[in-house]
Amino acid sequence: MPQQGLGSGVIYSSDGVILTNAHVVAGSSRVKVTLPDGRSLPAGVIGAEPAQDLAILRVGVKGLPVAQLSTAPLRVGQLVVAIGNPYGLDFTVTSGVVSALERSLPLTRDQKLEHLIQTDTPINPGNSGGPLVDVQGRVVGITTAILPYAQGLGFAIPSTTAYDVIARISEQHQQGLSRGALGISGLDIGIDEGTRRQQQLAQRSGVLLLEVAPGGAAAQANLRTGDILLSMSAHPVENVNALRKVVQALREKGAWRVSFLRDGRSRSVTVTPTI
C-alpha cells in the first residue's frame, strides 16, 4: 500500500492557493486537501522551496475563506495558538507563547532553517504546515518542526519569510497553460487509487483545471474549474506538458472529444477549439 502522509495548511487566497510545508508534499504523487467545510479535493503543487520548507498548492475552487498573514514584529512571551491536524485529529488547537526569535535548525549537513520562531505551544506530527496565530487570529508563522524527544520545543517559519517565498514561487515556478485554444489554465495532478479502480482508469495523473475563461472553448463545452482532464481525442493527457503537445498536434483537427473527471466520475464532451 502506498505510504500516506499528513499535514496542515493555510488558505492564502480565495481562489484556492494554499500554503504548507515543503516536507509535507515532498515525493507525493497525489495530494488531497480537506477543507474546513469537509470537502476533500485534489490539489496541484504550484511550487516549493525545500530550503525554506515551504510549498504552494492550489485547489480548483473559488470563494474560500482566507487567513490573514501578519508581518507585525513578535515579542518573546507573546501568546500564540497553533491550529492543525496532529495524528489526523482535524482542527486541533493548542496554545503557548513565543519562547524565542531568530532560531536556527539544521535541515541537512549543509542546510539549515533560519530566522525561526521558537514556541512552547504543543506541536505534533501532522501540525506541519499549519498556522501559528496571535490573539487577533492573524497568522504569524507556519508550523514546521519539533525536536524529537524534547518537550515544549516547537518551531515556526515567520510570515515575513512566507510572503517572500510566495512571491518567488509565483514568479519563478509558474505552472499553467496560457488560455490559448481551450481557454483554460491548469496544473499537473495525481489521481487517487480508489477513483482509478472505480472508473477503470489506467493513467495515474491528469490536468486539474484552475481557471475556465468565460466564453472560451472549454466553457462552451461545459468544462468547469475543478475538472481533471484525462485525454483529448484518445490522446492521454497526464500533465501540462502533454496537454500542450496534444493541443498543438490536434490544432487543425476541428472538434475534439475530451475525457475528464468530475466529482470522481468519468465524463466526456466535445470541444471546438479557438484556432
Q: Which of 102, 124, 158 is the last residue of a domain?
A: 158
The answer to whether position 172 is within a domain reads no
Residue 39 placed within a domain: no
One DSSP character per residue, 85-126 reads: -GGG-TTEEEEEEEEEEEEEEESSSS-EEEEEEEE-S---TT
Number of domains present in the structure of the chain: 2
Residue 246 lies in domain: 184-271
Residues 190 and 262 occupy one common structural domain: yes
Same domain, 195 and 264: yes
Domain contains 125: yes
In a domain, 232, yes or no: yes
CA distance 238 to 97: 46
In a domain, 66, yes or no: no
Specify whether 259 is located in the same domain as 189: yes
pLDDT of 239 above 90: no
Of 19-28, 153-162, 183-192, where does mean pLDDT reach its minimum? 183-192
pLDDT tens digits along 13-54 = 888 889 999 999 988 777 889 998 888 888 888 888 888 999
pLDDT in tens, 90-107: 889 999 999 999 999 887
Instruction: List residues with catalytic annotation.
Output: 23, 53, 128
**For the whole model, what pTM was predicted?**
0.71
| For residues 247-265, average pLDDT | 84
Residue 57 pLDDT grade (very low, low, confident, very high; cuts 50, 70, 90): very high
**Contact criterion met (CB below 8 Å) for 225 and 168:** no
Report pLDDT for 4: 64
Question: 80: helix, coil or strand?
Answer: strand
Within a domain: 46: no
